[in-house]
C-alpha cells in the first residue's frame, strides 16, 4: 500500500495529498486539481509575500506595524488577540496566535508596497510559481487553492527561488525563543516555538505532524482540514487538503499519515 492510501479511510468526502522530495512530486492521491478553502494555511502565502517585500526593501522586520513590529506580527508575538483588535500582552512576551495580527500585517504590506495586499501576494508568489488555481482573500485565512498549486509552493520552500536561502532560514528559525502560548487545537505549549509566519514543530507534544517529523519541520495547518509541512532532514514535504473541518479525526489521522510518508520517502 502506498503511504497516501491512508486518506481513503478518512471520514471525509474529498481529500487530496501530494508528497514532494528534492526530485519533485513523487506520490499523489485524490483529485489534486480540486480547489479547497485553505483556512490558516493562507498565512504561509502571506508570509512568503512579506519576505519577498523584505528582500525588495519595501519593509523591514523591525519597523513599527500596528502595536508592534513586522517581526512580532509574523511570529504571533505582537500581543494582539485572536479575533479582536485589542492587545492582550506587551510585544514579545506571549505567543498569542492571532488572525487579526495577520490582517494588520496585510494592511502594513499594502501601505508599504502601494498595492492592494492581495494583488501584491499574487504578483510576488502566485504568478512566479504558476499557482494558477489559487485565489486570495483575507490574508489570515481565506485563500482557496488546490493540492498541485500548494505542492508548487512546498517545492519552493524546499528549494527557494523567489527568496535568498538565508531569508528562508531566518523565517524558519525560532523568533522570540522561550515564550509560551496555545497552539490552536493542541493546547498550551511551553515553549510554543514559531518562526516568521511558519509554525515550527520543535519538541511540541501533542502536535499535528508525525512523531517521526524532525524538530526542524515547519509549516501550518488550517481549520478547514488542510495542512502543509516541510521536513528539511529529507528533504521532504507533504500537502494535504480535505473538505472536513479540523477536529479530533484530524488529530489522529494527520500524524499517522505523516509518519507513513516519512517511513516511505525520507532518504
What local confidence, expressed as pLDDT, does residue 138 receive? 76
Considering only CA atoms, which of 172, 134, 170 is closest in space to residue 152? 134
Tell me the three state secondary structure of residue 242: strand
Domain ranges of the chain: 3-265
C-alpha cell, 200: 515550527
What local confidence, expressed as pLDDT, does residue 113 receive? 97
Q: Which of the following CATH numbers is that of domain 3-265: 3.40.710.10, 1.10.1060.10, 3.30.565.10, 3.40.640.10?
A: 3.40.710.10
Sign of CA dihedral 187, 192, 193, 197: positive
End-to-end, the C-alpha distance of the chain in Å comes to: 19
CA distance 147 to 30: 9
DSSP-assigned letters across all residues of 243-265 = SS-SSHHHHHHHHHHHHHHHHHH
CA distance 25 to 45: 20
What local confidence, expressed as pLDDT, does residue 139 receive? 87
Tell me the pLDDT of the chain (267 aa) as tens digits: 689 999 999 999 999 999 999 999 999 999 999 999 999 999 999 999 999 999 999 999 999 999 999 999 999 999 999 999 999 999 999 999 999 999 999 999 999 999 999 999 999 999 999 999 999 877 899 999 999 999 999 999 999 999 999 999 999 999 999 999 999 999 999 999 999 999 999 999 999 999 999 999 999 999 999 999 999 998 999 999 999 999 999 999 999 999 999 999 987
What local confidence, expressed as pLDDT, does residue 136 receive? 82
Number of other CB atoms surrounding residue 167 within 10 Å: 16
Amino acid at each position: 500500500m502506498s503511504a497516501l492510501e491512508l486518506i481513503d479511510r478518512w471520514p471525509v468526502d474529498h481529500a487530496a495529498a501530494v508528497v514532494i522530495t528534492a526530485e519533485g512530486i513523487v506520490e499523489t492521491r485524490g483529485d489534486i486539481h480540486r480547489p479547497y478553502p485553505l483556512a490558516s494555511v493562507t498565512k504561509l502565502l502571506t508570509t512568503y509575500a512579506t519576505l519577498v517585500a523584505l528582500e525588495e526593501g519595501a519593509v523591514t522586520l523591525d519597523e513599527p506595524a500596528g502595536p508592534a513590529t513586522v517581526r512580532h506580527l509574523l511570529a504571533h508575538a505582537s500581543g494582539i488577540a485572536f479575533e479582536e483588535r485589542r492587545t492582550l500582552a506587551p510585544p514579545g512576551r506571549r505567543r498569542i496566535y492571532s488572525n487579526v495580527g495577520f490582517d494588520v500585517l496585510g494592511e502594513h504590506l499594502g501601505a508599504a508596497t502601494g498595492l492592494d495586499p492581495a494583488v501584491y501576494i499574487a504578483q510576488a508568489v502566485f504568478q512566479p510559481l504558476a499557482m494558477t488555481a489559487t485565489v486570495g482573500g483575507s490574508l489570515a485565512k481565506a485563500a482557496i487553492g488546490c493540492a498541485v498549486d500548494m505542492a508548487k509552493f512546498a517545492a519552493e520552500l524546499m528549494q527557494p527561488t523567489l527568496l535568498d536561502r538565508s531569508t528562508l532560514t531566518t523565517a524558519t528559525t525560532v523568533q522570540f525563543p522561550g515564550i509560551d502560548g496555545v497552539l490552536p487545537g493542541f493546547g498550551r505549549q511551553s515553549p510554543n516555538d514559531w518562526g516568521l509566519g511558519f509554525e515550527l514543530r520543535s519538541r511540541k507534544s501533542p502536535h499535528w505532524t508525525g512523531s517521526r517529523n524532525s524538530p526542524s519541520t515547519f509549516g501550518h495547518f488550517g481549520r478547514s482540514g488542510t495542512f502543509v509541512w516541510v521536513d528539511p532532514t529529507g528533504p521532504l514535504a507533504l500537502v494535504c487538503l480535505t473538505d472536513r473541518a479540523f477536529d479530533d479525526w484530524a488529530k489522529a489521522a494527520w500524524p499517522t499519515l505523516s509518519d507513513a510518508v516519512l517511513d516511505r520517502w525520507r532518504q
